[in-house]
């Protein structure tokens, strides 16, 4: 797992745990993402360790351009919506990540709509 994948994964885990519980749909979607990224057994054991840590991802350093930041924010939102709706804690977490990534409220609103449509 490279540094970019590690930081993105930290972000995904941060969103999954934001409301204090991991629902089966969130777990399933996270698993699908890990498979798409081609994670091996060693990577998956590292994911297990990350699930117990509370480190905030350093996304700015691994996502230097705005388009990639928008793309990963949509993935984070899709994970947040996986259980049907965004809990208040998830929303706070995602809003903070968006601010850190320089994503405007208008862009975030558009991404929320797109992410909801992914699960529809």
Task: Tell which residue, 80, 69, 71, has the closest CA to residue 30.
Answer: 80
d(CA 47, CA 41): 10
Residue 25: CA atoms inside 13 Å, Cβ hemisphere, count? 9
- pTM beyond 0.85: the answer is no
pLDDT for position 53: 63
Distance, CA of 70 to chain centre: 12
Per the prediction, the chain carries an average pLDDT of 80
Tell which CATH classification among 3.30.160, 1.10.3680, 1.10.760, 1.20.120 matches the domain 3-119: 1.10.3680
pLDDT for position 13: 77
pLDDT for position 67: 94
Burial of 9 (0-12, 13-18, 19+ CB in 10 A): buried
Distance, CA of 29 to chain centre: 11
pLDDT for position 9: 76
pLDDT for position 40: 75
């Amino acid at each position: 797992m490279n540094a970019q994948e590690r930081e993105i994964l930290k972000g995904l885990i941060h969103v999954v745990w934001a409301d204090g519980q991991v629902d089966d749909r969130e777990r399933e979607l996270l698993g699908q993402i890990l498979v798409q990224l081609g994670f091996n057994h060693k990577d998956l054991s590292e994911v297990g360790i990350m699930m117990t840590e509370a480190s905030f991802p350093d996304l700015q350093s691994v996502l230097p351009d705005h388009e990639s930041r928008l793309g990963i924010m949509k993935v984070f939102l899709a994970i947040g919506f996986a259980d049907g709706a965004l809990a208040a804690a998830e929303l706070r977490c995602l809003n903070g990540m968006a601010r850190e990534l320089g994503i405007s409220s208008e862009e975030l609103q558009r991404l929320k709509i797109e992410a909801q449509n992914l699960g529809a």
